[in-house]
Homo-oligomer: A and B are copies of this chain.
Amino acid sequence: MISRLIEKIRQTKAPVVVGLDPNLSFIPSRLLEEAAKKAGAGTPQADPLAIAAEAVWQFNKQIVDAVCDIVPAVKPQIAMYEQFGLPGLAAYDRTVRYCREKGMIVIADVKRGDIGSTSESYAIAHLGRARVGEDLVPAFDADFATVNPYLGTDGIRPFVDVCNAWDKGIFVLVKTSNPSSGEFQDVRTEDGRPLYERVAAKVVEWGEASMDGTYSNVGAVVGATYPEQGRRLRELMPHTFILAPGYGAQGASGRDLAHFFDREGLGCIVNSSRGIIAAWRKPAYASFGEKDFAGASRAAALDMIEDLRSAIEER
């Protein structure tokens, strides 16, 4: 699977993934009003969760239509859908299917991880197929999923097995983008290394069981907000593809990311969520107006692609 992502990045010349994290405050009020009307708002049968889910789906669809020819991948954050219950997860499922129909790679940002037998079910849920009698059926059928390593190897191995069985990939959390990520991830261990380097060493080991060309189907999440750690992790994990969140709204720019990439300018894909999907609310893209929010997203994506391109060239 990682070779497919790399091929798409080569074609688009855009190591960019659009984070589909549709907080309701990012969605133009018109879409919410239309969804409410459709659901018969005010009547007892109008389910607020279904209204939110419909608005989320319409919002996603327009953004996907606007960026699918210039960007290789999307990363829906499932929490944003889970908060709207079953209708929300139906919107998630529809979004995943639509993006794949449009030829985009879908990275399910689910950060699952559990003891072995449970991780197996999560791997089936998001990347594999459930066995029911004679049937093998996909549930939420993404291309990649993000995985939490806190439980160690037996929580990861079922994901790797599913990657090999169904040609999928995972990104394991190594050094996350948030302000408090250092609390445990940066803890110095007795050999002097921070914990995230020990996690990185395991990611390399796990990845050896699922190589796909130069890179492994087992990738790593490394926050764009930590440029020095990213440079070091790039060296420590030469065959590990990096998913880097934290660009834009969380504070990182192209320059911070230059050393997350390999010599060919590959090896990393950078996520931006708010910076792209809520671009219409930013002064820089205000000329698009609320009505053409998707046009603003496309412009913001193009600017991000250019920012990364020049940062890689100027290294």
Interface residues of chain A, those whose CB is within 8 Å of chain B, are 21, 23-24, 32, 36, 48-49, 51-52, 77, 79-80, 82-86, 88-90, 93, 111-119, 121-122, 124-126, 130-133, 135, 137-140, 148-155, 173, 176-185, 187-190, 192, 195, 198-199, 202
CA distance A83 to B162 in the complex (A): 13
Instruction: Across the A-B interface, give the 7 residue pairs with the lowest CB-CB distance, nearest first.
Output: A152-B180, A152-B183, A85-B139, A48-B132, A115-B178, A79-B121, A82-B125
Contacts of A121 in B (CB 8 A): 77, 79-80, 82-83
Shortest Cβ distance from A96 into chain B, in angstroms?
A: 11
CB-contact partner of A82 in B80, B122, B178, B183, under 8 A = B122
Number of copies: 2
- A137 touches which of B48, B133, B179 (Cβ 8 Å): B48
B114 touching A32, Cβ below 8 Å: no
CB distance from A157 to the nearest CB of B (A): 9
* 25 pairs, CB–CB < 8 Å, chain A vs chain B: A23-B117, A24-B132, A32-B133, A48-B132, A48-B133, A48-B135, A49-B130, A77-B121, A79-B118, A82-B125, A84-B125, A85-B93, A85-B125, A88-B139, A148-B148, A149-B150, A150-B185, A151-B173, A152-B183, A152-B184, A153-B180, A184-B195, A184-B199, A188-B189, A189-B195
Least distance between A50 CB and chain B CB atoms (Å): 9
The smallest C-beta distance from A29 to any residue of chain B, in angstroms, reads: 10
Q: How far is the CA of A195 from the CA of B150 in the complex (A)?
A: 11
Query: Across the interface, which residues of B come within 8 angstroms of A189, CB to CB?
Result: 187-190, 195
